[in-house]
Structure 1
Amino acid sequence: MHTDRANIKIAMKLLDNFITYINKDLHKDFQIIVLEHIPKSIWQESKLKNFHLVDKEFKDGNALIRFDDTGNPY
C-alpha cells in the first residue's frame, strides 16, 4: 500500500513524463498548471524537470509561461 506522498510522486512523475513526451518527442508546446498544495520537496526529491514553483509576483522571469533567452516559451 502506497502512502499519500508516494501516490503524489507517482502522479507527478506521470505528468512530468507526459510533458517531456509532448515537448521533446512531438515538438509541441505544452504546459499543465497544477493548483495544489504539494510540498516543493516532493518534486525536488523526484528530480522532476517540468515542475516549477510560481509563488511570487510575476516579474523578472517568474511567470506561469516562461521564456528562454531567444524568446521561446518553455
Structure 2
Amino acid sequence: MRIVNLENDNRKFIKSVDNFHVLEYVQDASVSPMNAIDEYFMSKMNVRRRQVVIDIGKDHSAVIQAGSMHYSHG
C-alpha cells in the first residue's frame, strides 16, 4: 500500500487481503463524556475499533454500496 501516514502508535494494520487492509485502533481518542463508561469497559474487554482501508489503483478496484458496512460488538 502506498499510504504511509495512517499507522502510528495508536493505530496499526492488523490484516491485509489483496487490496483490503484492516486498520485497528489501539485506543480510541474520540471518546465523548456520554459514552466514556462504555468505551472504558470495551477497552478492558479488548474490543477495539477497526476500519477497512481499500487500496484503489489501476490494478485494484472495489464496489462500495450504501448500507453495506456496519459496526458490531464482538
Shorter chain as normaliser: what TM range?
A: under 0.3
Larger radius of gyration: 2
Length-normalised TM-score, structure 2? 0.23
Bigger share in helix: 1
Length-normalised TM-score, structure 1? 0.23
